């Protein structure tokens, strides 16, 4: 079932590798509770320098993706009061969350080294920033989204991430500085998105004051519209956004069967949607949407 947290209580187990066993000894309950599923989107960049410039310029907009992908209202048998409780569970890790503006690749590298040198993180693999340079591929990896209940929502998030990366790269090439938003405000925006999803208000990524969620989402689409239009994906994104706003996020869809059948009904319905690929019970179109989710 494509759920970002488990509605039922469940026992977890480790992959039998020494690194994970050491992590459990070091981080205890944080490891044992870490039954979460996120959607990580990788977008190609020409160089690590471009990647850092992109990270600096997308950091203020990533909370919107948390709200759009929210798919974790239940946790270990409980209603959490959050739309994306996975965000709360994940951010217990010491190396997680939004980052400062790095300004250059040497500064980024220095920060990563310093974090590992503290001894709090075991290694560079535990640098769990909301977006980071991938160690094994020439990509920026955006890590804020819940795994989506519907495949078409996952494709939408991927298209938006790629458009954000391309838009940020163009800003960098044009000499546009990153928005100087304090990291603490980014944490507030992520918490609000995790708590409310699309049900109420988000923090506007221009002013960081409350605004209707639909307006903030539309502002994000408007920001990346030039790139989306060039790629022939603007209509696709607008249709996807309209559908999510009308039908609800995965989190909102989970709550519908819960009202009549409890958590068992939530899981049963999630399995149906996951296996069929679409909330209406019809197979998802696997053609143009997913095949186009790549930069350039």
Domain ranges of the chain: 18-291
Residues 6+ apart with CB under 8 A from 227: 163, 166, 167, 170
CA 10 from chain centre, in angstroms, equals 24
pTM for the structure as a whole: 0.91
Give the C-alpha distances (Å, rounded to integers) separating 26 from 29, 86, 200.
9, 21, 38
Q: Is 41 exposed, middle or buried (0-12, 13-18, 19+ CB in 10 A)?
A: buried
Q: What is the pLDDT of residue 14?
A: 87
* Mean pLDDT value of segment 248-262: 93
pLDDT tens per residue, range 20-66: 999 999 999 898 888 899 999 999 999 999 999 999 999 999 999 99
pLDDT at 296: 33
> pLDDT per residue over 114-135, tens digit each?
999 999 999 999 999 999 999 9
Q: What percent of the chain has pLDDT over 70?
A: 93
Q: DSSP label at 42?
A: E
Residue 280 has pLDDT above 60, yes or no: no
Instruction: Report pLDDT for 12.
Output: 82
Q: Strand (E) positions, the chain?
A: 38-44, 74-75, 78-79, 131-133, 139-146, 201-203, 210-212
Dist. CA 181–CA 186, nearest whole Å: 7
Quick check: 31 and 184 in contact, CB under 8 A?
no
Instruction: Give the model's pLDDT for residue 32.
Output: 86
- Is 277's pLDDT higher than 60? no
Residue bearing tokens 């993706």? 65
Q: Does position 108 have pLDDT exceeding 80, yes or no? A: yes
Task: Name, in order, each residue with C-beta under 8 angstroms of 260's C-beta and a sequence gap of 6 or more.
Answer: none
pLDDT at 242 over 80: yes
Q: What is the pLDDT of residue 114?
A: 97
Average pLDDT, the chain: 91
Q: Is 12 exposed, middle or buried (0-12, 13-18, 19+ CB in 10 A)?
A: exposed
Picking from 224, 221, 223, 198, the residue whose alpha carbon sits closest to that of residue 211 is 198
Query: What is the tens place of the pLDDT at every residue in 155-188?
Result: 999 999 999 999 999 999 999 999 999 999 999 9
Burial state string for 54-93 with b = 16 or more CB within 10 A and e = fewer than 16: bbbbbbbbbbbbbbbbbbbbbbeeeebebbbbbbbbbbeb
CATH, range 18-291: 3.30.590.20
Residue 285 has pLDDT above 90, yes or no: no
Residue 282 pLDDT level (bands cut at 50, 70, 90): very low
CA 48 – CA 50 distance, rounded (Å): 5
Q: Does residue 178 contact residue 57 with C-beta atoms inside 8 Å?
A: yes
pLDDT digits (tens, 9 = 90+) for 197-237: 999 999 999 999 999 999 999 999 999 999 999 999 999 99
Identify whether the C-beta of residue 198 lies closer than 8 Å to the C-beta of residue 185: no
């Amino acid at each position: 079932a494509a759920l970002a947290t488990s509605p039922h209580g469940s026992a977890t187990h480790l992959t039998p590798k020494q690194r994970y066993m050491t992590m459990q000894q070091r981080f205890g309950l944080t490891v044992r509770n870490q039954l979460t599923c996120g959607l990580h989107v990788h977008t190609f960049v020409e160089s690590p320098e471009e990647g850092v410039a992109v990270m600096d310029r997308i950091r203020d907009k990533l909370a919107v993706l948390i709200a759009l992908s929210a798919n974790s209202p239940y946790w270990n048998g409980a209603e959490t009061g959050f739309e994306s409780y996975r965000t709360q569970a994940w951010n217990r890790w010491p190396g997680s969350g939004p980052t400062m503006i790095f300004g250059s690749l040497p500064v980024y590298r220095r920060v990563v080294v310093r974090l590992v040198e503290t001894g709090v993180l075991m290694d560079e693999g535990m640098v769990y920033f909301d977006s980071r340079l991938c160690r094994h591929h020439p990509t920026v990896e955006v890590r804020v989204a819940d795994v989506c209940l519907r495949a078409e929502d996952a494709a939408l998030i991927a298209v938006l991430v790629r458009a954000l990366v391309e838009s940020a790269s163009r800003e960098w090439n044009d000499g546009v500085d990153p928005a100087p938003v304090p990291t603490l405000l980014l944490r507030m925006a992520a918490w609000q998105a995790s708590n409310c999803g699309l049900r109420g208000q988000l923090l506007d990524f221009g002013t960081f004051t409350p605004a209707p969620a639909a307006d903030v989402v539309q502002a994000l689409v408007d920001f990346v519209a030039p790139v989306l239009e060039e790629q022939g994906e603007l209509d696709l994104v607008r249709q996807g956004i309209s559908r999510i706003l009308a039908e609800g996020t995965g989190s909102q869809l989970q709550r519908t069967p819960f009202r009549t059948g409890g958590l068992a009904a939530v899981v049963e319905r999630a399995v149906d949607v996951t296996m069929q690929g679409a909330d209406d019970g019809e197979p998802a179109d696997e053609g143009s949407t997913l095949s186009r989710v790549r930069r350039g």
